[in-house]
Amino acid sequence: MQPGLRATGSRSPSRRGLVCTTTDGGSRLYLIADAVKGVPLTPIVEALDRLPAPIVEAVWDGESAPSTPIFISPGTIARNLAAAKQPATETRKLTRGPRSMAGYVQIFVGPQRRPKGRMPIEVHTQVGKLLKSVLTAAYTRKGDYNRVNGIRSELDEWTQREYNYDELPNEWFFELYYHESGSSFARSLSPDVRAVHVGSLEQVKQILSQHYPDSPPLRALTKKLDAAIGSMQTWAS
């Protein structure tokens, strides 16, 4: 907070506009005003306290609009058309990746690779629970949190490439790696508690190695897990 400013956050559960109502620790809203020239905040807070609760309190898990198709440049389209017109007798060289990997295009990121094969949905559920248990405990330690959050984001991406909507409906898919609840705001963890979370991350490594073929994408994810484990082990109690 800068000098000369004052702020107020949530003091009452009835003030829906100023409290974090999401189960996965979403945004927090604050009122801020200059301590000398700003408007008084107390009347505003009191007025917000008198507001009724929202008509819809449940978390919306729908889809506002379908995602846009992946962009294909005019140059790529032209090359594809030219390739399609080549004589059938002409031999074309095909670039094939290793058998242990599959390629995909991630929106806003570009071409990515993942291990070939599919991990069973129930195993994804198990891995998601393990990662979410670590995330809720490490919420205030952003180094740990961001590492594990990146791991679950990548596994979430792999999952949607492994299963289509008919095999894995959205309402189930969204719960696999997200929507954790009960985030802890503890600044420290006892050695015993840290050991539990280290064990969870080690278990994730073991599960992934059992269900995915050895490949560069899997090894890269394993390194990220090792980094998260090392960070958790050095979290002072």
Q: What is the pLDDT of residues 23-58, one digit of tens each?
A: 444 455 677 888 788 888 888 888 888 887 666 555
Categorize the per-residue pLDDT at 66 as very low, low, confident or very high, splitting at 50, 70 and 90. low
Query: Is residue 171's pLDDT more than 80?
Result: yes
**Domains in the chain: ranges and CATH:** 5-49 (no CATH), 112-233 (1.20.1260.40)
User: Positive or negative, the Cα torsion across 54, 5, 187, 207?
Assistant: positive
pLDDT of residue 106: 80
pLDDT of residue 91: 43
147-165: average pLDDT:
94
Q: Please check whether residue 174 is in contact with residue 61, taking contact to mean a CB–CB distance below 8 angstroms.
A: yes
pLDDT of residue 110: 81
**Sequence-ordered list of residues with C-beta below 8 angstroms from that of 36, at least 6 positions apart, any chain:** 4
Q: What is the 3-state secondary structure (H, E, C) of 144-200?
A: HHHHHHHHHHHHHHHHHHHCCCCCCCHHHHHHHHCCCCCCCCCCCCCHHHHHHHHHH
pLDDT of residue 98: 66
pTM of the shown model: 0.58
